[in-house]
């Protein structure tokens, strides 16, 4: 779920071509029948080597149950996924089944790339609010794979070895978070840094909600310049008190995957990621990690955290194999055997039936994720709808201006105004 900085800009360069070619031709390129006469189904997705291995195992299970269908996985890393997908769609060569995340959903749906899956995939065991995140203008363009929440991860042993104490996360504040991070760094003689900075838009969305502001308001930002500046001030204070690395190191580690993060390499005690990444972080660090609620502003009436689908499955509207595509999507989200292979790799299963089937088979880190989500569920805001078209560039834009402020190359006042202007231009429609 963390994105590379170059990915979206490259993907957006393809949208002009995409818009022109989306209406040209018919049917996905390639595909048809394989050499043995089976229907060939193409499925695009991103992730780690571990995800690829799990997915290929699930594909083999599907093929065993559907011997006339041959599924070809089109796998890539996260950084290149959308650039590759945009090129394929623009060339009228879209995969039959497409994995998307919520920021890219409207872009592809609005261009007629995706098929309406209403009544074609069984969603009886899905939470209606979670399911609705895959719907745009009354059409169900995407089916959630699973759910997660943007949270704070912590390595308790590194906190304790520094002489600090874990907080009561039901009531801790941003000031207490900053003080804890600084104490960890100091108590470990700088060998462990308190926390790693994050410029994920979900973090700003949570902070803004604590101030009563929405991230999006129609096709523009709902954020005030002051909220953005106050958010940056938290990070500037972290750098000043050495609770986080300096701007250069923060930029460097912010561009890496979670297994190369400070938390993943045991050189940092805390950090912010999506809850379904706890397993990957735990595996990388080799230590037990926990999830905590995000800190709050003093006097805030809401914590601002929200439930969100980890990703979606969608189908190409141009596919000549739509029946097979929906059958495969249905298998991936509803079949307990698929669930027992994938477990929580794509978020805690969105289907309550599948979640019940895999609950006892989850690794320890995923059990913690499930327990955490259950604990905070009543505090979480409803899943937000798909953001405006152009929101796919938001993380790149936000990261650029955040780094300008952290490096001292722009004042917070100037950066906040320019961020809002550029972001609004991106999502204006």
The number of beta carbons lying within 10 Å of the beta carbon of residue 357 is: 17
CA angle 233-235-239, nearest 5°? Answer: 115
Measure the CA–CA gap between 200 and 1, rounded to whole angstroms: 10
Whether 170 is covered by a domain: the verdict is yes
Measure the CA–CA gap between 144 and 350, rounded to whole angstroms: 6
Q: Do residues 158 and 65 both lie within one domain?
A: no
The count of structural domains within the chain is: 2
Q: Do residues 301 and 365 both lie within one domain?
A: no
Whether 9 is covered by a domain: the verdict is yes
Looking at residue 79, what is its pLDDT? 79
Whether 261 is covered by a domain: the verdict is yes
Range(s) of the domain holding residue 283: 149-306+389-427
- Dihedral over Cα of 95, 96, 101, 105: its sign: positive
- Tell me the pLDDT tens digit for each residue of 127-153: 999 999 999 999 999 999 999 999 999
Q: Would you state the structure tokens that stand for residue 105, as one six-digit string?
A: 């959903």
Measure the CA–CA gap between 188 and 53, rounded to whole angstroms: 38
Measure the CA–CA gap between 359 and 383, rounded to whole angstroms: 23
DSSP string, 391-418: GGGHHHHHHHHHHHHHTTSS-HHHHHHH
Residue 34 pLDDT > 70, yes or no? no
- Tell me the pLDDT tens digit for each residue of 95-127: 999 999 998 999 999 999 999 999 999 999 999
Measure the CA–CA gap between 85 and 291, rounded to whole angstroms: 33
Q: Do residues 21 and 41 both lie within one domain?
A: yes
Helix 394-406, helix 412-427: angle, nearest 10: 170
Rg value, the chain, Cα: 22
Looking at residue 78, what is its pLDDT? 83
Here the CATH number for the domain that contains residue 70 is: 3.40.190.10
The contacts of residue 258 (CB under 8 Å, 6+ apart) are 2, 264, 273, 277, 280, 281, 284
Buried b (16+ CB within 10 A) or exposed e, 83-116: bbbbbbbbebbbbbbbbbbbbbbbbbbbbebbbb
pTM for this prediction: 0.86
For the residues 322-339, what does the mean pLDDT come to?
97
Looking at residue 344, what is its pLDDT? 87
- Tell me the pLDDT tens digit for each residue of 180-217: 999 999 999 999 999 999 999 999 999 999 999 999 99
Measure the CA–CA gap between 304 and 213, rounded to whole angstroms: 10
């Amino acid at each position: 779920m963390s994105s590379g900085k170059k990915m979206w800009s490259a993907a957006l360069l393809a949208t002009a071509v995409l818009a022109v070619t989306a209406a040209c031709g018919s049917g996905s390129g390639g595909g048809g029948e394989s050499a043995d006469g089976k229907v060939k189904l193409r499925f695009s997705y991103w992730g780690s080597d571990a995800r690829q291995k799990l997915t290929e195992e699930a594909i083999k299970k599907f093929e065993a149950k559907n011997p006339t269908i041959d599924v070809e996985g089109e796998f890539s890393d996260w950084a290149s996924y959308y650039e590759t997908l945009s090129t394929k769609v623009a060339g009228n060569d879209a995969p039959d089944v497409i994995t998307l995340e919520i920021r890219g959903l409207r872009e592809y749906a609005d261009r007629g790339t995706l098929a309406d899956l209403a009544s074609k995939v069984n969603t009886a065991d899905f939470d209606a609010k979670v399911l609705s995140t895959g719907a745009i203008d009354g059409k169900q363009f995407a089916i959630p794979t699973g759910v997660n929440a943007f949270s704070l991860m912590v390595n308790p042993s590194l906190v304790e070895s520094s002489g600090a104490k874990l907080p009561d996360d039901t009531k801790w504040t941003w000031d207490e978070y900053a003080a804890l991070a600084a104490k960890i760094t100091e108590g470990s003689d700088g060998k462990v840094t308190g926390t790693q900075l994050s410029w994920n838009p979900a973090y700003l969305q949570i902070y803004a909600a604590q101030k009563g502001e929405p991230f999006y308001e129609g096709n523009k930002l709902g954020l005030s310049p002051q909220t953005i500046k106050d958010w940056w001030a938290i990070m500037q204070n972290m750098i000043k008190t050495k609770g986080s690395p300096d701007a250069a190191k923060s930029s460097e580690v912010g561009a890496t995957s979670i297994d190369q993060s400070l938390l993943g390499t045991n050189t940092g005690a805390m950090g912010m990621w999506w809850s379904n990444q706890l397993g990957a972080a735990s595996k990388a660090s080799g230590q037990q990690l926990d999830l905590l609620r995000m800190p709050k502003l003093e006097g805030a009436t809401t914590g601002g955290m929200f439930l969100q689908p980890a990703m979606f499955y969608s189908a190409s509207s141009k596919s000549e194999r739509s029946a097979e595509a929906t059958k495969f999507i249905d298998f991936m989200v509803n079949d307990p055997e698929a669930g027992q292979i994938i477990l929580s790799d794509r978020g805690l299963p969105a289907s309550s039936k599948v979640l019940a089937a895999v609950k006892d088979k989850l690794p320890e880190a995923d059990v913690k994720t499930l327990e955490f989500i259950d604990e905070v569920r009543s505090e979480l805001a409803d899943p937000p709808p798909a953001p405006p078209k152009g929101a796919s560039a938001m993380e790149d834009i936000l990261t650029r201006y955040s780094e300008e402020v952290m490096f001292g190359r722009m004042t917070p006042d100037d950066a906040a105004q320019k961020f809002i202007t550029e972001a609004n231009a991106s999502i204006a429609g």
